Amino acid sequence: METDGKVLGLVGSPNREGRTNQLVAAALEGAARAGAPTELIQLADHVVAACKDCLPWVCKDNLKCIYEDEAFEYLSQKILASGALVLGTPVYWWDTSGLVKYLILKMFRVYASSAPLQGLPAFGLAIAGGTGNGLVSGLRPIYHFFQMMQMRAKEPLPATRFNFDTAVERAGKLGEEIAAMANQRLPFSNLEERLLWYDALPYLSLNRAAERRLLAAFAIQSLPSHENAAVALGLARADSLAASGKPLDSLIEVTQVYETGAKTFEGQHLKK
Ligand SMILES: Cc1cc2nc3c(=O)[nH]c(=O)nc-3n(C[C@H](O)[C@H](O)[C@H](O)COP(=O)(O)O)c2cc1C
C-alpha cells in the first residue's frame, strides 16, 4: 500500500479534550514544525468492537474482519496508509485504555501474520494523570503492539501530572524526530534484531519497584530546588537500601519520597 507520509496521531481517551489529546497534539505540532503532514484521530469517534476470535481464521488472509466494523476498517486503513504513528493512551488501573486495547487486539488478529506495518516509525505515550501509578505498565501493551507488528518504535513517553509540562515538550521533540522518518519504513532484518531493538528502549523493562522509583523521581523533580533537596536524599537512602539487599525497606522509603513530593506538588497547585 502507498503511504500518505502523514504522521498519524491516535488519542486513546474517551475524553477528547484531556491530557492524552494534549500530548498527542503536541507530538503532531512537532511533526508539523518539521514539515510533515499530520492527522489527529480520536478513538472515541471510532470505537472498535471486540475481536470475536472467529474460526476459520479468514481475516489473516482476507485482511478484513468478517464482521462489519466500520470503526476498525477506518482506523486500520488510516494506520496502514500512515507514514508514522503516535499512539496515546490514558492510564486506567495501571493499564492501557479499552479503546486502545480493542483496536490493537483486532489489528493483531487481522494483520500480525502479514505484517504490513514492518518498519513503520512510531512512538507511544501514556498519561497516568491520577496517582501516577502505571506510568510504565500502561505503555507496555502499546509497545507490545508495535513490536508484534514489527514497527520501528522510538522511545516511549511516560507522563504524569508531575512531569506533564516536560512531557508535552518531549512529545513535540519526538514528533519532530518521527516526522523526519515518516517517508521511509525501515524494517528489521530479522527477529533477533527487532527483539534487541525493543529491549534497548528505556522504561519498558523496569520492574514494579523501579517503576515506582521513577514515579517518585518525577514527583520530586517538579518541586522547587529548596524543597527538592531534602526529599531527594530519601531517594538516595532508598537506593542504598536496595543495594544492600533490603528491597522492601527501599520501596517503603520510595513511597515516603513519593508521598512527600505529591503532597508538596498538590499544595503548590492549590496555591495557583
Ligand atoms: C477508570 C480510570 C482508571 C484510572 N486509573 C489510573 C491509574 O491507574 N493511574 C493513574 O495515575 N491515573 C489513573 N486514572 C486517571 C487518568 O489517568 C487521568 O484522569 C488522565 O488524565 C486521563 O487521561 P485524559 O485526560 O486524556 O482523559 C484513572 C482514570 C479512570 C477514569
Q: Whose CA is nearest to atom 30 of ligand 1?
A: 92
| Whether residue 129 has its Cβ less than 6 Å from ligand 1 | yes
Dihedral sign for Cα atoms in the order 239, 240, 242, 247: negative
Query: Which cell numbers hold the place of 235?
Result: 531517594
Query: Which cell numbers hold the place of 189?
Result: 532484518
Integer angstrom CA distances of residue 239 from 25, 202, 222: 36, 19, 20
| Whether residue 166 has its Cβ less than 6 Å from ligand 1 | no
Per-residue pLDDT tens for 113-160?
999 999 999 999 999 999 999 999 999 999 999 999 999 999 999 999
Query: Which cell numbers hold the place of 183?
Result: 517517508
Nearest ligand 1 atom to the CA of 14 is 27
If you ran DSSP here, which 8-state letter would residue 43 be given?
A: G
If you ran DSSP here, which 8-state letter would residue 55 be given?
A: S
Task: List the domain boundaries for the chain.
Answer: 7-199, 208-271
- 57 in the Ramachandran plot: left (φ > 0), alpha (ψ -120 to 50) or beta? beta
pLDDT cut 90: percent of the chain above it: 88
Ligand 1 mutation pick, 23, 92, 265, max ligand atoms within 8 A of CB: 92
Q: pTM for this structure? A: 0.97
Integer angstrom CA distances of residue 61 from 4, 73, 148: 24, 15, 17
Fold of the domain built from segment(s) 7-199: Rossmann fold (3.40.50)
Per-residue pLDDT tens for 173-202?
999 999 999 988 999 999 999 999 999 999
